[in-house]
Structure 1
Amino acid sequence: MFGKKKPIPQIDKDQLELIENAQKRIKQKKGLYAHFVIFLIGAIFLIVANTVLGIGKDFKILEIDWFVFAILIWLFLFVYHLFNVFVTNKFMGKDWEKAQLQKLVAKQQNRIEKLKAGLVKEETILAKSEVFKEETTKPINKGSELTIIVAAAENNAIGLGNKLIWHLSDDLKRFKALTNGHHIIMGRKTFESFPKPLPNRTHVVITRQEDYSAHAGVIVVHSLEDAIDAARKDSNPYIIGGGQIYKQAMAIADKIELTRVHENFDADTYFPEIDTNVWKETANTFHTKDETHAHEFSFITYTRK
Structure 2
Amino acid sequence: MFGKKKTTTPIDKDQLELIENAQKRIKQKKSLYIHFVIFLIGAVFLILANTVLGIGENFTILGKEWFLYAILLWSFFFIYHIFNVFITHKFMGKAWEKQQLEKLVAKQQKRIEKLKSNLVKEETKIAKSDVFNATTSLSQNTTSKKHSPELTIIVAAAENDAIGKDNKLIWHLGDDLKRFKSLTNGHHIIMGRKTFESFPKPLPNRTHIVITRQSDYHVPDGVIVVNNLEDAIDAAKKDSQPFIIGGGEIYKQALLIATKIELTRVHATFEADTFFPEIDTNIWKETANTFHPKDEKHKHEFSFLTYERAH
Structure with max Cα Rg: 1
1:16-40 alpha-carbon deviations (Å, 9 max, x no partner): xxxxxxxxxxxx9xxx69xx79xxx
Which residue is equivalent to 1:70? none
The question of whether the paired residues in 2 share the 8 Å contact of 1:202 and 1:218 is answered with yes
| Residue aligned with 2:245, SS | strand
Which residue is equivalent to 2:190? 185
Partner residue of 1:139 out of 125, 128, 136? 136
Distance change >3 Å, CA 276–CA 121, structure 1 → 2: closer
Distance change >3 Å, CA 210–CA 114, structure 1 → 2: farther
The question of whether the paired residues in 2 share the 8 Å contact of 1:151 and 1:261 is answered with yes
Is the counterpart of residue 166 in structure 1 residue 161 in structure 2? no
- CA drift of 1:85 comes to 5.0
Partner residue of 2:239 out of 227, 230, 234? 234
- CA drift of 1:116 comes to 2.7
Is the counterpart of residue 261 in structure 1 residue 266 in structure 2? yes
The question of whether the paired residues in 2 share the 8 Å contact of 1:155 and 1:264 is answered with yes
- CA drift of 1:90 comes to 4.9
Distance 1:200 1:179 in 2: 9
Distance change >3 Å, CA 188–CA 90, structure 1 → 2: same
The question of whether the paired residues in 2 share the 8 Å contact of 1:148 and 1:255 is answered with yes
Which residue is equivalent to 1:128? 123
Distance change >3 Å, CA 217–CA 95, structure 1 → 2: farther
Unpaired segments ≥5 residues, structure 2:
1-31, 42-76, 143-147
Letter in 2 for 1:130: K
User: How many aligned positions are there?
Assistant: 229
Which residue is equivalent to 2:83? 89
Which residue is equivalent to 1:294? 299
1:185-220 alpha-carbon deviations (Å, 9 max, x no partner): 011111111111111111111112233222222111
Distance change >3 Å, CA 166–CA 99, structure 1 → 2: same
Aligned residues with identical type, % of pairs: 59
Distance 1:122 1:288 in 2: 49
| Residue aligned with 2:307, SS | strand
Equivalent positions of 1:247-286 (< 5 A) are 247-286=252-291
Distance 1:221 1:92 in 2: 72
1:260-294 alpha-carbon deviations (Å, 9 max, x no partner): 11111111111112222222222111111111100
1:80-136 alpha-carbon deviations (Å, 9 max, x no partner): xxx985634357756997899899879956873674365235313312313313542
Q: Is 123-132 or 141-150 further displaced after alignment?
A: 123-132
Unpaired segments ≥5 residues, structure 1:
1-27, 38-82
Distance change >3 Å, CA 227–CA 85, structure 1 → 2: same
| Residue aligned with 1:139, SS | helix
Distance change >3 Å, CA 102–CA 211, structure 1 → 2: farther
Distance 1:85 1:167 in 2: 85
Distance change >3 Å, CA 117–CA 275, structure 1 → 2: closer
TM-score (norm 1): 0.65
Letter in 2 for 1:151: A
